[in-house]
Amino acid sequence: MAFPDNRLSEEELVHRLYQKEESALRYLYDHYSPALYGLLLRIVEDEELAQDLLQESFLRIWNHFDQYDKTKGRLFTWMINVTRNLAIDATRSRAFRNRKKNLNWDNVVDFLERHRQHHPNPDRIGLRELVNRLDEAHRQIIDLAYFRGYTQAQIAEKLNLPLGTVKTRMRSAILKLRALFT
């Protein structure tokens, strides 16, 4: 089923996803996969793995859509979290660590050049600009958590801060970003 003007409101899209309409999944993939792929690529720095994780992300989103609660945030935010968590899990796996040890530097440079030229940049959606409007303490925590894949415990260790402070600043930063989005 094609959608009029190839556009759906988020509310209509969410409704159709709850109804398990496959056309809604296709719409979701067509409209959100470039941004999610960019996020994955930034975290795992491997095209093949990013492509696999993108497919896995959409499967997880589809199979666990009943866990999405629109009262807790926007659909895209939930999808980013699902995708980001898969990427972080992948980077913590033994296979990923072994794979990173065996990378050829010529291939890495070639990959980075190709990536810059041919793949969508998730920063184009404006998220980086909004994050840059935060104060330094909040910006640093969001950068480490969402753009670099650090856990809150790792952020606390890296910044030499109590874990509670990191959690509080992260929550505060997210609330500030939410206000900037609206």
DSSP 24-61: HHHHHHHHHHHHHHHHHHHHH--HHHHHHHHHHHHHHH
Q: Average the pLDDT over 26-39 and give the result.
A: 90
User: What domains sit in the chain, N to C, each tagged with a CATH number?
Assistant: 1-122 (1.10.1740.10), 126-182 (1.10.10.10)
pLDDT, residue 178, reads 80
Alpha helices in 93-151 (DSSP H): 94-101, 105-118, 127-132, 136-142
Query: pLDDT tens across 61-118, in order?
Result: 999 999 998 888 889 989 999 999 999 888 887 665 555 555 555 555 555 555 555 4
Cβ neighbours of 115 (radius 10 Å) = 16
pLDDT at 78: 92
- 81-102 b/e (C-beta count within 10 Å ≥ 16 → b): ebbbebbeebbeeeebeeeeee
Q: In the block, which residue shows the tokens 């065996």? A: 102
